[in-house]
Chains A and B, each alone.
Chain A
Amino acid sequence: MTAPIATSQTILVVGGGISGMTAALEAAECGRDVVLVERNPTLGGRTALLYRYFPKMCHPTCGLEINLRRLKANRRVRVLTMTEVAGITGQRGDYQATLKIRPRYVNERCTACGDCSAAVSAEIPNPYNYGMGQIKAAYLPHAMAYPQRYVLAPSLIGTADADLAKAACKVGAIDLEMQEETVQLSVGAVVWATGWRPYDAAKIQPYGYGRFPNVITSVEFERLADPSGPTGGKLLRPSDGKEAKNIAFIQCAGSRDENHLRHCSRICCMATLKQTQYVREALGEDGQSTVYYIDIRSIDRLEDFYQMVQRDKTVKFVKSKVARIAQADNGDPILHGVDTEGYHRYATPHDLVVLAIGMEPESNSIALPQDVITDSSGFIEGSPDGGMCGAGSASSPLDVNRSAQSATGAALRAIKVIHQTAREEA
């Protein structure tokens, strides 16, 4: 691995999800040099794990493919996967970044033929299905993975399986001696596009996530609905594998709650409205979705989508935040609470409960440089001198569309910094 050549006129983009890719491409297409760093073995981030987008119900593969084509056509973006930022020092126009590159054990000769995967027997919980289902320990993350290159799980190294994988590779792409590398980079501006993660649902104790198998999160439901997910697109509930027909969606699971996330995560209302349409798609009139909500926040033009769902006879709305969930002997979750339209007490069984889980900034679990300012929830605003800024859902809870807008804005800010640096150096 050779370190990328970077100067004070290079932009460092941290995170290769939809926001990071957009920011990197916009800056590169304006003629700036960009280093795009991604922690996982592939670009695409959480967008790649969605089944469909709202409101047009199209597939994320489409948007990702466009970005990947732009990326392949542009020589100004240098992509580093399996790479994390260990630290950044310096100021606007003059940063020193330390990057840690984890070993992939597969070099660029890989043709993604899959022989190594066929040769090994060890399996790991599939990270691209939020741990639901297993995947071979030598794997291609998913069909849209970029780079299209296999990766060996670290747990495989040192076992007989690793040697089998190496022996199976016809092009000699597997290098079991690969070590972690540390790389120093000088860059002029940094865009933090570190994205989000679902709030830890187990912390919402009364909802029993982790104790009751049929209480899942919205991101897991997204994988259930996806044909490339763990159930092949069938809405099967985890406890007994039966088809879930009567599905409850609980809004504000972790969001707008002083005990959990203070902020409104903004995407969850639309995500749930979208997911009710997965239920309709899978089961037609036999499916029943019940949305438990405080208030539905489908902003501006997305209101149309809400009204469309309201007209759907298979979708019911209950104005109430569920107080707690119990479990019946047959595994049905029973939702307890009081509704606000009449103050009726209910105890309603469902086949499956989907928690519309809140968005937490992923950067809450990483050490940011000291001069990066975050809000009370941890979303990144940037550094006071403007040399670093947040983009996409790292900066605010945003959907894919608005993340791309935010990332374009961030790219412009970074370009501004580079232009100034270039002028001063000239």
Chain B
Amino acid sequence: MQALRTTGHQGIPAVAARYRNNFLKEVEAHVEDGEWVKMCMQCGVCAGSCPFGPHWEHPPQEIFMMIRAGKRDEVLKSDAMWMCTSCYNCVVRCPRKLPITQIMHGIASYAQELGLAPKNQPTRDFSIQFWNNCTKTGRVNEMKLTVGLYFKDGLVSGIKQVMNMLPVAIGLIKAGRLNPFELISGHSPKDQKGIAAMLKKARAIEAQRAPATH
């Protein structure tokens, strides 16, 4: 009798291998709260409850189905999960209590880690700027963050945005809510070393999770 053709080291018949859901397993291993994806029963309440719903490329329900269908590139290169505003409406409504918001952020962050996240996605750009700004000293420098965002698309559009917002800025300065000198110096929290140590520890914990499959 002819032996079943296998995929080599794993000893799984070739036919069965097609149905092995590798991407789902990858998501479960590497995405925060990814083990919840298999619990989705495709009712559609998350998609229907999302205030941003009509503007997404794929609503959460569809993303979960795509993960289970093994559509790795379509999911990770999509800008869908970057559209999540963390309103938590879906989490509250989900009949199976899936942490949908957390999973969306988890997938986005995994896509970023792999370098597959869409370029020029505004939420992604903002997240990167915010993270770099915030982790530098441990305190967000609002002057540098806003100016950085205004000039991200070049000098001309930056100056235009600054001129637009100038009256608001002057109002804020007069009210003592904005210090223009922060643009040059900026102030730091008291225990800057402590914050650096905390971030280092967080990175170490994260590294203990299975490394990303590139």
Contact = CB atoms under 8 A, between A and B. Distances in A.
A338 B96 contact: no
- Residue among B48, B49, B54, B92 having the largest count of chain A Cβ atoms under 10 Å: B48
Interface in A314-360: 320-324, 336-340, 343, 345
A312 to B, nearest CB: 24
A422 to B, nearest CB: 49
B49 A259 contact: no
Given A321-B44, A338-B44, A206 B95 contact: no
B97 interface: yes
Interface in B44-99: 44-45, 47-49, 53-54, 58-59, 61-62, 92-97
- Residue among A321, A336, A345 having the largest count of chain B Cβ atoms under 10 Å: A321
B48 A320 contact: yes
Contacts of B61: 338, 340, 343
A259 B47 contact: no
A206 to B, nearest CB: 7
B82 to A, nearest CB: 18
A322 B47 CA distance: 10
A388 interface: no
Given A259-B95, A321-B95, A338-B61, A345 B54 contact: yes
Contacts of A252: 43, 95
Contacts of A321: 43-45, 48, 95
Contacts of A300: none
A339 B95 contact: no
A343 B47 contact: yes
A375 interface: no
A258 B58 CA distance: 25
A126 B204 CA distance: 67
B121 interface: no
| Interface majority SS (helix, strand, loop, mixed), chain A | loop
Contacts of B47: 323, 337-338, 343, 345
Nearest to A255: B95
Q: How large is the interface on A (under 10, 10 to 19, 20 to 34, 35 or more residues)?
A: 20 to 34
Nearest to B97: A258
B14 interface: no
Contacts of B58: 343
Interface in A235-267: 252, 256-260
A336 B41 CA distance: 19
A196 to B, nearest CB: 20
13 contacts: A256-B95, A259-B93, A260-B95, A321-B43, A323-B45, A323-B49, A323-B93, A324-B49, A337-B45, A337-B48, A340-B61, A343-B61, A345-B48
